[in-house]
Structure formats: C-alpha cells, structure tokens
Amino acid sequence: MATSPKRRQRARGSVETLPSGALRVSVYAGIDPVTKRRHYLKETIPAGTLKADDEAERAIRRLQTLVDERRQPRTNASVSALVERHLDLAQLDETTARTYRGYFRNHIQPIIGHIKVGAVDADLLDPYYAELRRCRLHCDRQRFIEHRTARPHECDDRCHPHVCRPLGAATIRQIHFILSGAFQQAVRWKWVGVNPMPTGKPPAAPKPNPRPPTAAEAARILAEAFRDPAWGTFVWIAMVTGARRGELCGLRWSKVDLENAIIIVDTSVAQNSSQKWLKDTKTHQQRRLAIDGDTVTILREHRAECERRAEALDTKLRADAFVFSLEPDNSEHLVPDSVSQRYGKLAARLGINTTLHKLRHYSATELIAAGVDIRTVAGRLGHGGGGTTTLRVYTAFVSESDQRAAQALFSRLPSRPEQRTASERARVEPRSPYEHVATAISGDITDGQFPRGAALPSTAQLTQIYGVSAGTIRRALQLLSEWGLIDGSGRPI
C-alpha cells in the first residue's frame, strides 16, 4: 500500500518525498501570467541518489538563483499557446498571417506545440530543425499512400507511395523567425526570463539563383502567348514591368495613363486556395512605372478590343474596370493561380522549364545588363531593399533614369509577334472543324475539282463529302467568302 508523500519544509523551498523514494524539489516562482495561479519551479532527484538530501538542497539553491536573477520560466504555458497569442496580437498583412498560421498548424503545433515554453533550448531546437529537414509531412517512417485529395476519389498517377521530402531552407527559416518573434514577446510578457531562440541554428539562407528565360526563349513565349492577343498582352506587360502576378491581376484601367506612358501599381490580388481578395502591394508601397511607346500601342489595342467586346454584349467598361479580365465588362479580375497554371502549360508546350515569376527575373536581368542602376531596378520591381529612398519618394520616381530604364528594357525585348486576323490565321493554321473544311474546299478549288464559275455542290452534298454538319459547312463557306475564293452566290471565283 502506497504511503502518502511526506513534505519537509525548507527555508527557501520545499522537498517532497514521493512514494517511489524520489525527492521532488519545489521553489515558488511567482504568479503564472497565463493561468494567474501560483507558479513553482520543480526538479526531481531520482530514488537511490547518493546524498539525496544534499542534492535536493543544491537544487533548491539553483532554482532560487534562477528566480532571483529572473531567468526562470514564469509559466507552464505551451509553445502552442505562446505562438497562437503572438499571431493573434501581431500586426501582420492578411496574406502573411495566413502563411504563418499554416506553418504553425502544419509544422510547429504537431511537433513541439505541447512543449512548455520554459523547456525550449538548443537541445530541443536542433532535433526539431533536423525533423523539418527530414520530412515535410513529419511521417512516422511507415509506408503509406500520399493521396492527391482527402475527398473520395479514384486514384490516379497523382496518388503515390509517400517519399520523404524535406522542407525548404527558406521555409524552415520562416518558422524560426515565427518562433523568435513569439519568444521575444514571451520575454516582454514575462513568460520566460531568457529568449532561447538565439541558441538554435536554422539552415543558412539559400543563395539567390534566378533563372530567367533567355532572349530566345522569351521570343518563343511571346509568339505563343500572342495567339490570344489578350493573353499575349498580359505576358508582354509582365516582361516589361516585372510586376508580380497579383499586381497584374489587380491592375485597373484607371491606373494606366497612356498619354503620359505611366502605369501605377498600388493594388494586388491575393489568393489562398479558393479565397481571393484585393490588397495593397507586397511592400505596401505604390510604384509609378514608365513604359515604352510600343507597350503603349499594345495597351491601346487591348483596351480597344475590350471595348469592342463589351459593346457587342450590350455593356461597357467602367472607369475602374480591370485591365485583364474574362468578364464582358472587365468587372472581375483574373485569378492568380489560374494565370500561373496557364503560363506553366504554355511553357510546357514549348519545352521551356520556367515559371511566370521568372519574368520578374528576366526584367531585372535585362535592365541590369543594359546598365540601369540598381536603385532604379529595385524601384521598378517593388523590392523592399536596395532602393529605399527611391521607393519612398514617388513624386521623383518617374525620372530621367526611369525613362531610360523603360527604353533600355524595350530595346532588349524580342520583337512583337506579327498580328494576324482570325481569318488569316485559319488559312495557314486551321484549328476548328469548319476551318479544316474551308481549307479542304480551298484546295479542291485550286486543284480544279470545283471549277471556277461553276456552282459548288449543295450543302447536303458537302456534308456527305466532308462528313460534317450543315452548320459547319455554312461557316466554312462564309470563311471561303472572306478569303475571296467564292462569290456571294457560292461560286468559285
């Protein structure tokens, strides 16, 4: 039968004899700022320790010294409680807050969230960073299938056996900065006496390795993009300005001054899964970017096409309409993830290993190669460092150097692809069924199978010959008329 613990009072603390024979030392450390209860520092002397009473006395003095020097943990709160409170009180941009909470939910809480803040030290941090470098899913080293979605689905090649992949060095450093900020607050709140984070060693910052597309690759990308003039305009503006994808999606016509050849970048579209919202730029600063004459022409043509499309659907563009939109009145912005996916598919078709973000690298590289100073380049890209003065003084930003930057970049851009009408394109590059039929009939007219001046076969006969519907035949005949191969009565000319 277990005996009840016996407590022997000490002048500067107490020692409790546990049923196992071990001694538990307790020293009063004040009121817990989280629970508002009495807080004690405790240490256990294992049973069988030689001179256990003397060791207990030394433990009391050691713990009391921590209290006297205010180096003791002042709470039993966990790391999760600390980080959650830190994120709740921190003044963070919404996008940053979502990112940090994702790191907390996926990489902090499951591994060290239960640890008391007073127990965090180098012995804990080093294994923690090692775990982050081992597997981003923090698996238990058991084999399992990594499914593409948690919803019920038919597995395909996207569902595969789990293979451990480390978190990137940049992500681990972000997690380290979250914990560092939280423990700095913990010191201010008197949860702990000392910030333990400087004792941890996160991975070194990865070395910048921008890989922009080459000039030849940029030319191929533009040629492919301009098959759809609106999409080509988007890619062109991305190359010229080096703007972020969210900034381009959020660009409005009210911020495009074609008379003075200036684009104002002060809004961005943020996205988190299916949630999208408008916000200011990443550095919370507006940028005034000079653009070259050819870019002005492209934007004028794009606006005219937007207005024609809106008029055809009995609507019109508003003053605050978005420059790039799929809506008839340009009232809705593009979705950043969709833009990146479309660009990725374009690059994949061309066999080029690149991403939309690397157009920023392309713009910066070409500007620097053209001799533009770093401060101006930083200003055009909206970087937070490297051009602080220029970024703050917007009234002087569109200066002679920025005008030179616009002209220098334009001089190094590949030539704009020659624009063709849909009718001209169909003649050399048929895509739709009626375009293929029109091309076939054109060849038959040229070969003399359908003599000039003689009536073509009837619509019903042509549907039998080419194996298509009557509607397809009628559209093909209209296209032949646009090409000048048949007259109004449908006779070859």
Are both 229 and 195 inside the same structural domain? no
- pLDDT value at residue 30: 74
pLDDT of residue 240: 92
Please give the structure tokens belonging to residue 402: 């920025």
The tens place of each residue's pLDDT in the chain, 493 residues long, gives: 445 555 554 446 788 888 888 898 888 877 766 667 777 878 888 888 888 888 888 888 887 776 765 555 667 789 999 999 999 999 888 888 889 999 999 999 999 999 988 888 888 999 999 999 999 999 988 888 888 888 888 898 888 898 899 999 989 999 999 999 999 999 888 888 788 998 888 888 777 667 788 888 999 999 999 999 999 999 999 999 989 999 999 999 999 999 999 999 999 998 877 788 888 777 677 889 999 999 999 999 999 999 999 998 899 998 899 999 999 999 999 999 999 999 999 999 999 999 998 898 888 878 777 777 777 878 788 876 554 433 333 233 344 456 656 777 777 777 777 777 778 888 888 888 888 888 888 888 888 888 877 888 888 888 888 888 888 888 888 888 888 888 877 788 7
Residue 193's nearest CA partner among 83, 41, 314, 304 is: 41
pLDDT at site 9: 46
Is 297 among the domain residues?
yes
In sequence order, which residues have a C-beta less than 8 Å from that of residue 22 and are 6 or more positions away?
44, 45, 46, 47
Cα–Cα distance, 481 to 488 (Å, whole number):
7
Examine the domain organization and report whether 356 and 275 are in the same domain: yes
63/310 Cα distance (integer angstroms) = 76
Structure-block tokens of residue 210: 């921008």
Domain final position from 410, 436, 454: 410
pLDDT tens digits along 177-189? 999 999 999 988 8
366 and 457 housed in the same domain? no
Tell me if 374 is assigned to some domain: yes
One domain for residues 237 and 378: yes
- CATH assignment of the domain containing 188: 1.10.150.130
| Secondary structure percentages of the chain, helix, strand, coil, to 5 | 50, 10, 40
Residue 281 within a domain: yes
Same domain, 222 and 238: yes
Residues 240 and 387 in one domain: yes
Q: Name every residue whose Cβ is closer than 8 Å to that of residue 469 and which is 6 or more positions away in sequence.
A: 463
- The DSSP H or E segment spanning 41 is strand 38-45
Both 273 and 353 in a single domain?
yes
The tokens describing 403, both together, are 């005008």
Long-range contacts from 110-116, C-beta under 8 angstroms, 24+ separation: 110/138, 111/138, 112/79, 113/78, 113/79, 113/80, 113/83, 114/78, 114/79, 114/80, 115/78, 115/79, 116/73, 116/75, 116/76, 116/77, 116/78, 116/79
Asked if residue 205 is part of any domain, the answer here is no
Q: For position 1, what pLDDT does the model report?
A: 45
| Structural domains counted in the chain | 4
- Statement to judge: residues 321 and 467 lie in one domain: no
Predicted local confidence at residue 33, as pLDDT? 66
314: left (phi over 0), alpha (psi -120 to 50) or beta: left
Judge contact between 394 and 286, C-beta under 8 A: yes
Domain with 369 in it: what CATH number?
1.10.443.10
Judge if 195 and 62 occupy the same domain. Answer: no
Backbone angles phi, psi at 27, to 5 degrees: -130, 130
Domain housing 130: 79-144+164-199
Q: Give the contacts of 62 (CB within 8 A, at least 6 positions apart).
A: 43
Tokens of 113: 């969230």
Distance (Å, whole) CA 8 – CA 14: 6
373 within a domain of the structure (yes/no): yes
pLDDT of residue 340: 95
Q: What is the pLDDT of residues 50-95, one digit of tens each?
A: 888 888 888 888 877 767 655 556 677 899 999 999 999 998 888 8
Query: Alpha helix locations (H) across 371-491?
Result: 374-381, 388-392, 400-412, 422-428, 433-447, 459-466, 470-482
Indicate whether 457 belongs to any domain.
yes
Residue 159 lies in a domain: no
- CATH number for 438: 1.10.10.10
In the chain, the amino acid numbered 267 is T
Picking from 51, 71, 91, the residue at the C-terminal end of a domain is 71
Do 225 and 281 sit in the same domain of this protein? yes
- Domain limit, last residue, from 410, 430, 448: 410
Which is nearest to 380 in space by CA: 166, 150, 189, 362? 362
Residues 299 and 432 in one domain: no
Residue 327 and residue 432 in one domain = no
149 assigned to some structural domain: no
Kindly report whether the global pTM for this prediction surpasses the value 0.85: no
> What Å distances lie between residue 151 and 148, 162, 163, 391, 401, CA to CA?
9, 18, 21, 46, 54
Q: What percent of the chain has pLDDT over 90?
A: 34
Q: Residue 390: what pLDDT?
A: 31
Residue 270 pairs in a beta bridge with 277
In angstroms, the CA 282 to CA 246 distance is 10
